[in-house]
Chains A and B, each alone.
Chain A
């Protein structure tokens, strides 16, 4: 068990690469991860926000963004997000 890797170490390895963030509600973000803190608040760049509404998915582009970690559910490293799947 010498080479155990902590979850947040995995996210630390993702700094500088694209990441897909899925929130607790019907919202998703993709962007280049610039940094994060102990609460997993995240700083993202070249962000796309996806909102799933009854009318379909709505995409919003954002510049550098601080995403509150409170509503984050899942992080998928290296993924271009829902567009790629």
Chain B
């Protein structure tokens, strides 16, 4: 009766564990975290819209509440609700912690 224990598997170089995620990483996770918060949306034209992000979709179409339109740092308009078509969006930036 041969004691045929299989050899131990070769020691695999396991990748180091990822650093503890302070927030979530991917764009989808960012968007999930930022809904309902104050954001700054900059368009490719350079105009800023600041307001509360009420919802958005995969095209980066955006619905904002309490919107302020900023041009060169000056408030030029206020809207209760605003829809921004996604193709104009340069970035969405969190204006408060989440």
Contact = CB atoms under 8 A, between A and B. Distances in A.
A52 interface: no
B94 to A, nearest CB: 5
B87 A70 contact: yes
A47 B33 CA distance: 18
A36 B27 CA distance: 6
Contact of A68 (B26, B40, B60): B60
A34 B98 CA distance: 15
A78 interface: no
Q: For chain B, what secondary structure do more than half of its interface residues adopt (helix, strand, loop), or is it mixed?
A: mixed
Given A34-B30, A37-B26, A68 B90 contact: yes
Q: For chain A, what secondary structure do more than half of its interface residues adopt (helix, strand, loop), or is it mixed?
A: strand
A50 B35 CA distance: 26
Interface residues of A, number: 23
Contacts of B83: none
Interface of B: 19, 23-31, 34, 40, 44, 46, 60, 87, 89-95, 97-98
Leading 6 A-B pairs by shortest Cβ distance: A35-B25, A65-B93, A35-B26, A62-B93, A34-B25, A66-B92
